[in-house]
Amino acid sequence: MTTPRFATIEIDAKKCTTPFDCKGCLEACPQSVFSVTAIKVEKGRETDPKEPGTYLLMTGHRDKCTGCNDCIEICPVDALTITWPPLNA
């Protein structure tokens, strides 16, 4: 039985500070690997997508990644890195 090969997708949060405003990787990924969640929520106040640090980019479905690198090519701040485990010999 072979072990599944899933991509390791690293997101540099220091570079990707406004993912909900940018949405580049969200729109470019044909497999919908990425999602964004609010991490700074104040009751009775709308969360500003342009405010750095209010949203966090996550890879909820990295098992769907095909390695097309569309997300890497479109990222304006070079915040994404994709690596694959070595093939079993």
pLDDT tens per residue across span 20-63: 999 999 999 999 999 999 998 888 888 888 999 999 999 989 89
Distance CA 20, CA 57 (A): 8
pLDDT at 89 over 60: no
Distance CA 89, CA 87 (A): 6
Encoded tokens for 73: 């090519």
Predicted model pTM: 0.83
Q: How far is CA 16 from the centre of its chain?
A: 9
Cβ-based neighbours of 69, under 8 Å, separated by 6 or more = 82
| Per-residue pLDDT, 42 | 84
Could you tell me which CATH number the domain at 10-83 has? 3.30.70.20
**5 or 53: which leads in pLDDT:** 53
Q: Percent of the chain beyond pLDDT 70?
A: 93
- Interstrand relation of 80-83 and 34-38 (parallel, antiparallel or unpaired): unpaired
Residue spans of the domains in the chain: they are 10-83
